[in-house]
Structure formats: C-alpha cells, structure tokens
Amino acid sequence: MSKANSKASTKRNNRKIHARKFLATPEGKSWIERKTIEEAEMKLVSEARKFI
C-alpha cells in the first residue's frame, strides 16, 4: 500500500474513533437528537412536495 493510501485510511479511522467518542458525550447525544429531528422534518417536506 502506498503512503498516500495509508495516510488517508488513518485519517478516516481517526475520524470514526473521534466521532464515536463525541457521540458518547452528553453534547453528542443532544446533537444526535437534533439531527434526527431535522431529518424527520426534511422527510416531511420532501413528502409534501410529492403531493403538490
């Protein structure tokens, strides 16, 4: 594997690790709740557009 590929995969893995750590915190949990609410709202908007 070339250096560039291993560097990219390391960055990707670190991003996943930090995301897992962040989502375990209270701030992360509130962020998840906010995101799921936003996604639900976007789903409603897209379904409303289908009917219009």
Separation between Cα atoms, residue 48 and residue 31, nearest integer Å: 26
* pLDDT of 41 strictly over 90: yes
Give the model's pLDDT for residue 1. 54
In the chain, the amino acid numbered 27 is E
Task: Give the total number of structural domains in the chain.
Answer: 1
- Domain with 21 in it: 3-51
Which residues have C-beta within 8 Å of that of residue 22, sequence separation ≥ 6? 28, 31
* pLDDT of 29 strictly over 60: yes
Give the model's pLDDT for residue 44. 93
Mean pLDDT over 22-46 rounds to 94
